[in-house]
Amino acid sequence: MKRVYVYRNKSDQNGKVVAVENTIEALKSEISKKFEESSDNLRLYSSNGCEIEDVRVLRDDDKIYLCVDGDGEPKNCDSITNSMQNLSMGDGNKPGNSVSDWITLNVGGKHFTTSRSTLLAKEPLSMLARMFADDNNVYLMTPSARDSVGAYLIDRSPEYFEPILNYLRHGDVILDKHVNPKGVMEEAVFYGIDSMIPQLNLLIEESQSSCGINHALTRMDVVRSIIMTPNTWELRFQGVNLSGADLNRLDLRNINFKYACLSRCNLNGANLSHCCLERADLSYANLEGAQLLSVKALCANMEGANLKGCNMDDPVGSRALMEGVNLKGANLEGSNMTGVNLRVATLKNANLQNCDLRAAVLAGADLECCDLSGSDLHEANLRGANLKDAAFELMLTPLHMSQTIR
């Protein structure tokens, strides 16, 4: 239960300690007993001269002043005007330090107008609350100097102060996109708005995690880059995240995709001739009907990719370099792979039906459980390849004895 100090005449003398009851009538009844006054004519005022009509506005150890009506005029009670004049900040009743219910702050050159209750209610121990608290609060600070229009000067950032003032108004931390939560955090610590800090910590963590996310580029991003890059320049997408992008039928010749993420990309019918796909991630991408002339895909990951009907045969004679590539479970059915270099590549469970693999280099490749039915392996190098459980039905040319397998 809260307690209050009750005085007569704003004199702060001969006061009495009274326990606050649940209703204003019960409080008046208790005060009337202690001061031997009729509760019917009793009126209670706060130190700023406002009449108290609800006990919920009272805080523990508040000072209140009684007034007894008589003949329609109050007696034994100061007027509201005198009470307001007596309200002061700091160590004296200096007229220049009186505080109204509305306060204007000049923060870094920008004016903010707010009510005194906003500054006091949520964070009563903060710097702002102490600057503008009433004379019952023991945590008092002398307000800062004022500018030409009477606003209190505070040499801090207005951009970061606005979210703090809004928080004091409604209790939620809401930041615009351009406001850095770290900056607001510094101001919250400076002003002593402690209850705001946990919410700001969450926002800072979210901001840091979102900055670490490598957002995937879209088809429009790629098209814009192609249009804006002169033909004489090299277009580089090294390490770029393009996962899931729809790049079908785009002319992507000579682009550097080294280490890029093209997982599950739609590259259906795209022209990737002379591209660098070294160590790129093309897992489960759709490259059906794509042009892969002279492509450099050293150690690329194409697991589960659809390369059905791809063309890797360069009329000029330059060969596609796919040494060490991972084509596990990929579909290469009907692809033209003449002269392709698939040395030590992994093609386990891949579909190579009806592929043109003439003069292809498959030395040391893992072709376990591959389906090579109907493929042309004329002059292909299969030395040291793993052909365990591979299917060779309807071969166009029989395997030569020199094509040693293990």
| Same domain membership, residue 381 and residue 295 | yes
Q: Is the pLDDT of residue 177 over 90?
A: no
Lookup: tokens for 324: 């060490």
- Look at residues 86, 120, 138 and tell me which one is the last residue of a structural domain: 86
Whether the per-residue pLDDT at 401 is higher than 70: the answer is no
CATH number at residue 131: 3.30.710.10
Q: What is the mean pLDDT of the chain?
A: 83
Give the residue from 61, 86, 111 where a domain finishes: 86
Q: For residues 320 and 303, what is the distance between their CA atoms, to the nearest angstrom?
A: 18
Residue 342 lies in a domain: yes
Q: Is residue 92 part of a domain?
A: no
What per-residue confidence (pLDDT) applies to 210? 60
In terms of Cα–Cα distance, which of 195, 89, 194 is closest to 132?
A: 89
Q: Is the pLDDT of residue 222 over 90?
A: yes
* Residues 113 and 185 occupy one common structural domain: yes
Asked if the model's pLDDT at residue 97 lies above 70, the reply is: no
Let me know whether 161 and 296 are in one domain: no
Based on the structure, what is the number of domains in the chain? 3
Residue 270 placed within a domain: yes
Output the pLDDT for position 385.
93
DSSP secondary structure letters along 171-229: S-----TTS-HHHHHHHHHHHT-GGGHHHHHHHHHHHHHHHH--PPP-HHHHHHHHHHS
In sequence order, the 6+-apart residues with CB closer than 8 A to the CB of 347 are 327, 328, 330, 365, 366, 367, 370
What is the per-residue pLDDT across 20-38, written as a single tens digit (0 to 9) for each? 777 888 888 888 888 877 7
Q: In this structure, are 158 and 188 located in the same domain?
A: yes
Judge if 202 and 220 occupy the same domain. no
CATH code assigned at 48: 3.10.20.90
Strand partners, 308: none
**Last-in-domain residue among 37, 61, 86:** 86
Going by C-alpha positions, the residue among 368, 373, 380 that lies closest to residue 395 is 373
Looking at the domain assignment, is residue 129 inside a domain?
yes
Q: Same domain, yes or no, for 18 and 71?
A: yes
Residue 376 lies in a domain: yes
Looking at per-residue pLDDT, the higher value among 71 and 232 belongs to 232
Give the model's confidence band at 162: pLDDT under 50 very low, under 70 low, under 90 confident, else very high.
Answer: very high
148: Cα separation from own chain's centroid = 41
Same domain, 283 and 379: yes
* Same domain (yes/no): 187, 323: no
Which residue segment(s) compose the domain that 204 sits in? 97-211
The larger pLDDT score, comparing residue 402 to residue 214, is at 214
Answer yes or no: is 175 within a domain: yes
Residues 274, 392, single domain; the answer is yes
CATH number of the domain where residue 230 is located: 2.160.20.80
Residues 199 and 310 in one domain: no
Check: CB of residue 369 under 8 Å from CB of residue 389: yes
199, 316: one domain: no
The pLDDT value given to residue 211: 55
Decide: 379 and 357 in contact? Cβ < 8 Å. Answer: no
The mean pLDDT value for 176-186 works out to 89
Q: Are residues 30 and 108 in the same domain?
A: no
Query: Looking at the domain assignment, is residue 358 inside a domain?
Result: yes
- Between 129 and 46, the more confident residue is 129
Position 17, amino acid: V
* 3-state secondary structure string across 111-140: EEEEEHHHHHHCCCCCHHHHHCCCCCCCCC
Q: Does 91 reside within a domain?
A: no
pLDDT confidence band for 397 (50 / 70 / 90): low
Encode 329-392 in three state secondary structure: CCECCCCECCCCECCCCECCCCECCCCECCCCECCCCECCCCECCCCECCCCECCCEECCCCEC
